[in-house]
Chain A
Amino acid sequence: MYNDNFMTEKNIEMADKNFDVNDQSTVDNEETVGEIHVGDPRIVAKNVDVHYGDKIAINNVSIDIGKNEVLAMIGPSGCGKSTFLRCLNRMNDTIDSCAVKGELYLDKENILDKKIDVVSLRAKVGMVFQKPNPFPKSIYENVAYGAKIHGMAKNKAELDEIVFKSLERAGLFQEVKDRLDSPGTSLSGGQQQRLCIARTIAVSPEVILMDEPCSALDPIATAKVEELIYELKENFTIVIVTHAMQQAARVSQRTAYFHLGNLVEVGPTEKIFTTPIHKLTESYITGRFG
């Protein structure tokens, strides 16, 4: 039920049912409510549509994502939040049937442009996945991977510095400093996820995308990752997809609520969780469906 990448018939049907119970009006073509725009945007999405073959996964989404903020995207399974996240660094390119339309600007550059260099885009917009996915290499090599690929270090000393600093910032250095040569897969789940975050930070991205980064972790590991996200926002723009509403409330400044491929409501997190404007948002956060 956590796989948002594909809207199955069943998901849509189920969501439809819930939706009918709560609200008879349709969201199609309805404008997003709340505060879409921010003063100092880093990412600007304008009328983004995503199709998987004939199916619409994302319908006309427009949203700004500000500098040094954590934006949480919430919504029921199959609502398109992960799909939208994957648009931000063109990871949807790896799915053949997926077509993205609209405009999506990162620092005034349209990243949906076919001509753009996807490799340098992904270096600027890093991604952390739902399941920790360290490479079958040592801890050191895992973190050094991106830096090596992008030729960021001229010599071993510089590479060491990048690796140590990234591990430090991911709050993992103290735990692994004595065993940097052991395989990344030998770490615990929570450590693996922080290793993946360190690996992403090592490339010095501007934006970090996180696709339910804590859904495979226990509460203690989750707390550590959340703390880390909170600290990272000083330097990075973070977009996080989550199913845990408390997590969204804890780590984010703004929250976006997706429903059936529509962006229903965006606003400051506090406002979304206390005084939501849209009925659907209210139903979702009060646990009436989802």
Chain B
Amino acid sequence: MNLSIIFFIIMILGVSAYFAGLKKSLVLRNDKKLNSTPSYYGSILALNSSLSAIFFIILWFVIEKNFITQLENYRNYLYLFTLVAFLISSILTYKKIKHEFKARDNVEKIIKILLFACSSLAILITIGIFLSVIFESNRFFNTIPITDFLFGTHWSPQMPIREDQVGSSGAFGAVPLFTGTFLIAFIAMCIAGPIGLMSAIYLSEYASKKTRDIVKPLTEILAGIPTVVYGFFAVIVVAPFIRNTGEEFGLAIASESALAAGLVMGIMIIPFVSSISDDVINAVPQNLKDGSLGIGATKSETIKKVIIPAALPGIIGGLLLAVSRAIGETMIVVMAAGMSANLTANPFEAVTTVTVQIVILLVGDQEFDSPKTLAAFALGLVLFFMTLILNYIALHIVRKYREQYE
């Protein structure tokens, strides 16, 4: 017998408890008016008993893990005790079902607590992830000074495994990784920003309803293509094309270049920009558009001077979502931009990004006390802070704008 069977049994018992409560309240209703409608009496009975059972299981495990490890030997009785907890709680609640029992208020209270638990779970998990990354990074910074990591310009994370090994010094200057990340994200945004925004404007303001119904879902398909497939496309089509075009003009372009990865990534995130911008542009009230058209502004003047400013918070939101997607993207970069940590602003050279290096550091043989592995956590931490700052700036812009014009 395992836990999923126990939960299944609790569920079935919970449903029966609901009907039991319902039945009792229906009978009670015949003499006098009830405080709540009968279904609430059923619900409170089901909720109370199932939650007590689940709470009991959780309590058992907490105690077993932290205080009395011998409890593990009595695991077989857990199921029995759980059922007992269920029954005790349901009998107590069943007895409480009377005319003046405020079942509705109790149900509302429990639902509120459940919802609160769900929302705090997300926060707790975020804090957990953050703490684990901080601890591991801290171990990393004990061996490698934080200044070397943040401001060093040489990245070569090979550490000697044996004392007598030569040629692996281990350098952890993360600057080339961040410049690589920003370079590729910047190229991607140069593609996705204008194209996405303009296609959004076309779809929302110029296209007929029929065109929109066809074009919009088709654009959104772009977001659904697996990134590995984009990687193929970048390696097999885009990179050779860029190299050959470069040769025509006498430019030496590496077959793995930031440009190829950035271009393909830009195509991938077009739908993020266009779909969200299209929605916010559509949400601009018709009376604002009428106001502008009504004093003789053309369609494009209206879009430029009234619609875009009014929709700006949403558009910035879409752009930032696209940026964070571009920064976090790994697969296209692994395949198309190479893995060499060059410190360069030249889009024709191979570069690497933070996420790619995290993957490389954690793939294959690893020891969890070597700086090589721990470096991945430090990179993750910096990435975490970067997106945090990005989000903060975005929220700040949006809020400032809203305050001014709402």
Interface residue ranges, A against B (CB under 8 Å): 89, 91, 94, 96, 119-124, 126-129, 131, 133-137, 145-146, 149-150, 183, 185, 196, 199-200, 203, 205
Contact = CB atoms under 8 A, between A and B. Distances in A.
A133 B295 contact: no
A146 B297 contact: yes
Contacts of B251: none
B310 A145 contact: no
A145 B288 contact: no
B294 A119 contact: no
Given A91-B293, A127-B295, A136 B310 contact: yes
Contacts of A94: 289-290, 293
B406 A185 contact: yes
A6 to B, nearest CB: 13
Contacts of A199: 291, 295
Contacts of B66: none
Contacts of A203: 295-296
B26 to A, nearest CB: 42
Given A129-B291, A131-B287, A183-B404, A137 B296 contact: no
Contacts of A183: 404-405
Contacts of B405: 136-137, 183, 185
Contacts of A133: 285, 287-288, 290-291
Nearest to B295: A146
A129 B292 CA distance: 11
- Nearest 3 CB-CB pairs, A to B? A123-B296, A127-B294, A136-B405
B284 to A, nearest CB: 9
B252 to A, nearest CB: 49
B301 interface: yes
A177 to B, nearest CB: 20
Interface string B273-300: 0000000000001011111111111100
Contacts of B406: 185
A135 B294 contact: no
Contacts of A123: 295-296
Contacts of A150: 296
A147 to B, nearest CB: 10
B290 A200 contact: no
Contact of A119 (B287, B297, B309, B310): B297
A119 B404 contact: no
9 contacts: A122-B293, A128-B294, A129-B287, A131-B287, A135-B309, A145-B295, A149-B295, A199-B291, A200-B295
A127 B306 CA distance: 17
A80 B281 CA distance: 30
B305 interface: yes
B295 A91 contact: no
A122 to B, nearest CB: 4
A137 B293 contact: no
Contacts of B289: 94
Interface residues of B, number: 23
B305 A145 contact: yes
A149 B301 contact: yes
Interface centre among B208, B289, B291, B293 (most CB of A within 10 A): B291
Contacts of A196: 291
Interface in B361-406: 404-406
Nearest to B291: A133
A86 to B, nearest CB: 9
Contacts of B290: 91, 94, 127, 129, 133
Given A119-B296, A126-B295, A135-B310, 9 more contacts: A119-B298, A122-B294, A122-B296, A123-B295, A127-B290, A135-B292, A137-B309, A145-B295, A199-B291
A128 B297 CA distance: 14
A166 to B, nearest CB: 11
Contacts of B293: 91, 94, 122
Contacts of B295: 122-123, 126-127, 145-146, 149, 199-200, 203, 205
Contacts of A145: 292, 295, 297, 305
Contacts of A129: 287, 290-291, 294
Given A136-B405, A137-B309, A149 B291 contact: no
Contacts of A126: 294-296
A146 B208 CA distance: 28
Contacts of A128: 294
Contacts of A124: 296
Contacts of A185: 405-406
B297 A149 contact: yes
Contacts of B285: 133
Interface centre among A96, A128, A135, A137 (most CB of B within 10 A): A135
A145 B296 CA distance: 10
A127 B289 CA distance: 12
Contacts of B306: 135-136
Contacts of B404: 136, 183
Nearest to A199: B295
Contacts of B301: 149
Interface centre among A91, A136, A185 (most CB of B within 10 A): A136
Contacts of B298: 119
A120 B292 contact: no
A146 B301 CA distance: 10
Nearest to A184: B405
A188 to B, nearest CB: 15
Interface string B118-134: 00000000000000000
A169 B306 CA distance: 24
Contacts of B291: 129, 133-135, 196, 199
Contacts of B208: 96
B308 to A, nearest CB: 10
Contacts of A134: 291
Nearest to B309: A136
Contacts of B288: 133, 135-136
Interface centre among B295, B298, B306, B310 (most CB of A within 10 A): B295
Contacts of A136: 288, 306, 309-310, 404-405
A120 B305 CA distance: 18
B175 to A, nearest CB: 41
B185 to A, nearest CB: 30
Interface centre among B292, B294, B298 (most CB of A within 10 A): B294
